[in-house]
Amino acid sequence: MNKLIFGNAAHIAANKAKVEPTNPMLVHHGKAEGFFSCGECTHLMRRQRKRMVYKCLKRVSEAADHRLGYDACGLFEMKGGR
């Protein structure tokens, strides 16, 4: 008979965070109305390094990479001003 082994809550939470990353900007600015992602925001810049990286111009930390698929925060502005 197979026995299920469960990890502790912290381990599960850490793994969940890797699978479902959340936008750190949501803590300070809340979520934008609607179902927009950072990839549609005018404040997201693309930079070519060894690999393509994305930076949110509104984040304090220049070093922090950003993700296209993050839920848009309250500072969201549609690319092209629409």
Does residue 55 touch ligand SF4 according to CB under 6 A?
A: no
Distance from the Cα of residue 70 to its chain's centroid = 3
Q: Interface with ligand SF4 by CB under 6 A: which range of 3-11, 12-20, 66-74?
A: 66-74
Looking only at residues 4 through 33 of this chain, which bind ligand SF4 when binding is defined by CB under 6 A? 23, 25
Distances 36 to 4, 72, 79 between C-alpha atoms, Å: 39, 5, 11
Does residue 75 touch ligand SF4 according to CB under 6 A?
A: yes
Provide the minimum distance between the beta carbon of 51 and ligand SF4 in the complex, in angstroms, as a whole number.
19
